[in-house]
Structure 1
């Protein structure tokens, strides 16, 4: 073994409720926006839904055994808001509350640290019908939901992710209409993103007021940016897109203010951002005890003259760059750049890699074994990139591979397979892939092997 990681480093895998649980109509669970969206013709590939998913709601005990078999020291999962509050508010549902209570206890019994996400995109449909995240009242509902979770599990859960990928929620869910709730409105999307961050701040304050000692952060979808050339206009495009994708979220949480250049861009198109009220930025700027990094690829940007104030486009990776099964460039060195940039710009806030992974077409061989060599190399290269950043001072405290199981991948349905564990969706049989065994070796040694081998 070489490249040892710090003592106490968390080796985890990740999932989210709608993507794995299934059982969408049992034990009093209410409808979520993804239940409604997935029923819309053409919304999800092949008309697929999360109605069954990985049947994790019923099979979680054996899935926890599987985590222990892999030697995971942590597991990131999300609580389904409509399982606890079927209508988004009111009395908490005892069956839903008990489900996650048992899951948390089972993880701790096996020495697995739970990292709990409060909002991983499954807003109760009842709240969507009142305007969803465009309606500022939903921030109050989210704060009450978060407080209920802290009261129920805060004595055992140390780490909380308040919001998962607020940029993706705004972009795909409310601007481009590709995710639930399927809205296409830039003004609404910018309002939604602000309310998500405001919900984060409210949750952080509630967690601290409760005195449990828990830590909270946002899982940001972060994309390192590079200009397609040294031309000033391309450098400007990369800086502008970085503000749109990264700084619009990092700055208010970690600096207590929105970046001035992006504020000006939005106001030039939308007019005054009067939904940002006095005191909001102080609430959002309650900060984060850690930064959650969801990293998949980078963005190489080219200027598009005449399309200001958003005059840029993704130019694509240089020729010869390897890509995942979804065509996403595989660029582990950019992860090192990102982690060092976070320390340089925002200080020594601890970092958790809350998602990192790639989809490949993993098929069992004749012997049933799944030889996913590309994912093994992806793991090796990205963990080496994390280690290089740690050696240079980046305060990374853990890594959560996306994902534990093959699962429902939102609008792409079940075709993309990100898991360390293969799921046969017809039988629900689980098979640990070679990458899962490789990851188990890393977790056990708290270090990388010198080479990728059998």
Structure 2
């Protein structure tokens, strides 16, 4: 007996990308970003030494790309604006050529009946701002708030959904804890400052947004991973709880509830890792929370009690308090090393329903990166049936979440066209459409054809 998975009317079927990963440099006089700078000084750290100069050349090809989206029945797409394109120095005068470009892009989306969701920041700090301290600096926070305010003024009449940040945890982990983003610092206290100031920047952007009295909504996109203990042993359960505090609640609570988890604050105080802040900052965060939540889900987290004593001479990290746990026999993607656990998306949605007021939300990223996809070419097309099964597996649980009352309005796949992916460059491909790096030719994969039918039928059967 086949089961039909039908989604609510008006469900958002689309995909997502970012400026730095798709646009290329263009000719608007875009300022240098931290990625441009890092690539200049350490090319060897990028897969095949491919940098962000061209990527998929969306800057020059946006008209054909948006038409292709429409032909694959997208009704929505999440893009990001480049702070460094609109403000080459991070602040000062807005770049009119960049304004013209983004006006054209937004209007082209609307003309093709693809709703643009606009994100303001996706890892791409202007280098001029990084030189002032990046997210460690309150001056940079103010410059970001001004950039956001300018975007609301310039484009707010046409955008229904705004997002302040995509995965703000990423630069915290990568730039200040785990060495996979510039500025490659290992210092948890500075990481905590970056996290706090990013949350403050989010709140200040929401505050600016409210003053424009727009009919749209503003939110944030968080990469969330349900955290599971190894066992029901109280030590494992507590370890998972602490892991969850650091990697989920640290952003979820202040951005949606307007307050920080007391247990997390107590831990940071105990280990002398608290950021610097004012009472005014706390009030700003409290009063300016997200109106919509994007959920990026790729993998679960699993934790167990510490098995060895911490080296007191090592830098403080959350893993002083728990060990990561690898589930024996797990299903996983060997190209990224990530566990594939479809039910995790249901657990996340229910968590948001039960603990965050069932805020309006959507799955803003979910996807599967696979290397060497040319292996799967059949009759000139990549037969990525593994991606189709991945999408279906997660959609079944999203469907169940909606049945259980979760306020989930859409599903955006990462990504539309194979994109440049930071240090990994084009090592793993995520797209519904394949990209030939040498010719920039786009070719729809089998998953692209599946996704077209998925949107047209507002669901699938199996």
How would you bin the TM-score normalised by the shorter chain? over 0.9
> Which runs of 5 or more residues in structure 2 are unaligned?
311-316
> Which runs of 5 or more residues in structure 1 are unaligned?
none
Out of 164, 167, 182, the residue aligned to residue 165 of structure 1 is: 167
Q: Does 1:395 align with 2:407?
A: yes
Separation in 1 of the partners of 2:378 and 2:341?
32
Per mean C-alpha deviation after superposition, the further-off stretch among 179-188 and 80-89 is 179-188
CA drift of 1:323 comes to 2.6
Separation in 2 of the partners of 1:427 and 1:137?
42
Separation in 2 of the partners of 1:16 and 1:314?
30
Q: How does 1:62-211 map to 2 (within 5 A)?
A: 62-211=64-213
Q: What is the SS of the residue equivalent to 1:353?
A: strand
Per mean C-alpha deviation after superposition, the further-off stretch among 281-290 and 26-35 is 281-290
Answer yes or no: is the 8 Å Cα contact 2:418–2:433 preserved in 1. Answer: yes
CA drift of 1:417 comes to 0.5
CA drift of 1:365 comes to 2.0
Out of 438, 445, 457, the residue aligned to residue 426 of structure 1 is: 438
The residue that corresponds to 1:229 in the other structure is 231
Per mean C-alpha deviation after superposition, the further-off stretch among 226-235 and 59-68 is 226-235
Q: Give deviations 1:122-146, integer Å, cap 9, x for gaps.
A: 1110011111111111111001000
The residue that corresponds to 1:220 in the other structure is 222
Answer yes or no: is the 8 Å Cα contact 1:356–1:400 preserved in 2. Answer: yes
Q: What is the SS of the residue equivalent to 1:184?
A: coil
CA drift of 1:366 comes to 5.0
CA drift of 1:320 comes to 4.3
The residue that corresponds to 2:313 in the other structure is none
| Structure 2 CA distance for partners of 1:163 and 1:193, relative to 1, 3 Å | same
CA drift of 1:91 comes to 0.5
Answer yes or no: is the 8 Å Cα contact 1:173–1:179 preserved in 2. Answer: yes
Separation in 2 of the partners of 1:370 and 1:54?
18
Separation in 2 of the partners of 1:53 and 1:313?
37
Q: What is the SS of the residue equivalent to 1:419?
A: coil
Answer yes or no: is the 8 Å Cα contact 2:306–2:322 preserved in 1. Answer: yes
Out of 439, 442, 445, the residue aligned to residue 451 of structure 2 is: 439
Separation in 1 of the partners of 2:273 and 2:424?
35
Answer yes or no: is the 8 Å Cα contact 1:175–1:188 preserved in 2. Answer: no
Q: Give deviations 1:99-152, integer Å, cap 9, x for gaps.
A: 111111011111111101101011110011111111111111001000111011
CA drift of 1:299 comes to 0.8
Answer yes or no: is the 8 Å Cα contact 2:189–2:273 preserved in 1. Answer: no
Tell me the TM-score normalised to structure 1 length.
0.96
The residue that corresponds to 2:335 in the other structure is 325
Answer yes or no: is the 8 Å Cα contact 1:133–1:195 preserved in 2. Answer: yes
Separation in 2 of the partners of 1:325 and 1:177?
20
Separation in 2 of the partners of 1:282 and 1:388?
37
How many pairs were matched up?
448
The residue that corresponds to 2:12 in the other structure is 10
Tell me the TM-score normalised to structure 2 length.
0.94
Q: What is the SS of the residue equivalent to 2:294?
A: strand
Separation in 2 of the partners of 1:115 and 1:437?
23
RMSD: 1.5
CA drift of 1:183 comes to 2.2
Q: How does 1:307-326 map to 2 (within 5 A)?
A: 307=310, 310-323=320-333, 325-326=335-336
CA drift of 1:168 comes to 1.3
The residue that corresponds to 1:34 in the other structure is 35
Separation in 2 of the partners of 1:237 and 1:47?
39
Answer yes or no: is the 8 Å Cα contact 1:176–1:185 preserved in 2. Answer: no
CA drift of 1:95 comes to 0.9
Q: What is the SS of the residue equivalent to 1:50?
A: coil
Q: Give deviations 1:255-312, integer Å, cap 9, x for gaps.
A: 2211111112222223543x22102232223111111101001011111153497321
The residue that corresponds to 2:425 in the other structure is 413
Q: What is the SS of the residue equivalent to 1:202?
A: helix
Please list every run of at least 4 consecutive aligned residues from structure 1 whose deviation after the TM superposition is greater than 4 angstroms: none
Separation in 2 of the partners of 1:320 and 1:203?
41
Q: Give deviations 1:3-54, integer Å, cap 9, x for gaps.
A: 2111111111000011111125x22111011111122323322322111111
Separation in 2 of the partners of 1:405 and 1:281?
40
The residue that corresponds to 1:371 in the other structure is 383
The residue that corresponds to 1:344 in the other structure is 354
